[in-house]
Amino acid sequence: MERQQRLRIAIQKSGRLTDHSLDLLARCGLKYSRGKDQLMCYGENMPLDVLFVRDDDIPDLVQEDVCDLGLVGLNVIEEKRLAMAARGAQARFELIQRLDFGRCRLAIAVPDDFPYRDLSSLAGRRIATTYPHVLARFLRENSIEAEIVTLSGAVEIAPRLGRADVICDLVSTGSTLLANHLREVTTVLQSEAALIRTPVPLPDEKADWVRRLLVRIDGVQQVKESKYIMLHAPRSALPQIAKLLPGSESPTVIPLDGHGDKVAVHAVCRENVFWETLEALKAAGASALLVLPVEKMLP
Ligand code: ATP
Ligand code: ZN
């Protein structure tokens, strides 16, 4: 009964997505307590509980309606979708929002001494990966016939162990590849974290909380880069200044008592404000420039 009324979201228990996922939920206003090794934690101020699991289990937990929501990488989502399609089934979870963390790419990398020219160099080779279905689609789309060696981890050492000629693995900075004498040659899939939901319709109250959560997530994502900028300027410089403010809607213009033609300009910029922009604003006549971070925003 309890389960009926509270939303349940699955996130990665411990890994690259964990801190960002918890941070996102906290920024959405969720207060929770988490003990060590606890599988689940209860939201104290929202009817939302968090279940900690391996990221690979998240799509199933959501499509089987054990959890209403899940936060997981597009790479895992796509592999799951294709694996199900290969069995003639259709994935039942729904992707509802991409999130701006967990960015990485599934890429093919070859040993330093591998004679790579273009994709055709992969023909007839053994490619080690933990994403066999995404890789198979890529090879099919590029008409390359190669052997896929499916591993459950430690893909980057497969060439050295003689288990494969090249690899197809997740990369973000490329430092792991470098350490293993591998060279990235092509991208197979761009990935980032995303929010998925159960295919089962939610009762009104839960559906309402999902909507509220989505609005808050949107707000959180928007403020990440947003800045509040304040400055003084002669009224005549306003058109020029408005053009320089990065990603802002019409700024608020406030007259300054006793300063004749001078006004104060306040604006929300949806992008970061760099020194170059401030210098350009100053050159356009602005003074007393102040840039503040934005904490919350509700469009
Ligand atoms: P689990 O124990 O939950 O199965 P894992 O080893 O599969 O953990 P992590 O390495 O923690 O997973 O990665 C989780 C997700 O983080 C990946 O599926 C991917 O979406 C994202 N990610 C971002 N950058 C990277 C990267 N450089 N390497 C691997 N994953 C990355
Ligand atoms: Zn995993």
State in Å: Cα 55 to ligand 1 middle: 8
What's the rounded Cα separation, in Å, for the pair 133 and 81? 9
When the pLDDT of each residue in the chain is averaged and rounded to a whole number, the result is 93
Do both 214 and 271 map to the same domain?
no
Residue 55 Cβ contacting ligand 1 at under 6 Å: yes
Nearest atom within ligand 1 for CA of residue 15: 11
The answer to whether position 109 is within a domain reads yes
The answer to whether 120 touches 139, Cβ cutoff 8 Å, is: no
- 12: pLDDT strictly greater than 70: yes
The answer to whether position 298 is within a domain reads no
First to last CA, the chain: 35
CA-wise closest residue to 125 among 100, 158, 97, 92 = 158
Mean pLDDT of 42-67: 96
Do both 8 and 97 map to the same domain?
yes
Q: Which among 222, 241, 275 is the end of a domain?
A: 222
Closest residue CA from atom 6 of ligand 1: 15
Closest residue CA from atom 7 of ligand 1: 55
- 254: pLDDT strictly greater than 60: yes
- 155: pLDDT strictly greater than 60: yes
Environment class of residue 188 by beta-carbon count within 10 Å: exposed (0-12), middle (13-18) or buried (19+)?
buried
Do both 92 and 235 map to the same domain?
no
- 2: pLDDT strictly greater than 60: no
Q: Around Cβ 239, how many Cβ atoms within 10 Å? A: 9
Do both 160 and 126 map to the same domain?
yes
The answer to whether 25 touches 34, Cβ cutoff 8 Å, is: no
Closest residue CA from atom 19 of ligand 1: 73
The answer to whether position 20 is within a domain reads yes
The answer to whether position 299 is within a domain reads no
CATH (domain of 56)? 3.40.190.10
- 1: pLDDT strictly greater than 50: no
Boundaries of domain holding 116: 104-191
Torsion angle, alpha carbons of 156, 161, 162, 168, to 10: -10
The tally of domains found in the chain comes to 3
The answer to whether 169 touches 157, Cβ cutoff 8 Å, is: no
Ligand 1 probe mutation, 170, 176, 188, 190, most atoms within 8 A of CB: 170
Go through the chain and tell me how many residues it has: 299
Do both 126 and 232 map to the same domain?
no
CA-wise closest residue to 91 among 116, 54, 62 = 62
Do both 116 and 184 map to the same domain?
yes
CA-wise closest residue to 154 among 145, 146, 144, 164 = 164
CATH (domain of 267)? 3.30.70.120
Do both 13 and 70 map to the same domain?
yes
The answer to whether position 168 is within a domain reads yes
Do both 90 and 231 map to the same domain?
no
The answer to whether 1 touches 61, Cβ cutoff 8 Å, is: no
**Predicted pLDDT of residue 262:** 94
Do both 9 and 85 map to the same domain?
yes
The answer to whether position 202 is within a domain reads yes
Residue 73 Cβ contacting ligand 1 at under 6 Å: yes
The answer to whether 24 touches 220, Cβ cutoff 8 Å, is: yes
**Ligand nearest to the backbone CA of 153:** 1
Do both 210 and 242 map to the same domain?
no
Do both 11 and 85 map to the same domain?
yes
pLDDT digits (tens, 9 = 90+) for 75-115: 999 999 999 999 999 999 999 999 989 999 999 999 999 99
**Predicted pLDDT of residue 260:** 81
Reported as a pLDDT band with limits 50, 70 and 90, residue 36 is low
Instruction: List beta partners, residue 14.
Output: none
Do both 9 and 87 map to the same domain?
yes
Residue 265 Cβ contacting ligand 1 at under 6 Å: no
State in Å: Cα 129 to ligand 2 middle: 13
State in Å: Cα 206 to ligand 2 middle: 28
- Would you give the DSSP letter of residue 102? S
pLDDT digits (tens, 9 = 90+) for 198-224: 999 999 999 999 999 999 999 998 888
**Tokens for 291?**
């840039």
Residue 211 Cβ contacting ligand 1 at under 6 Å: no
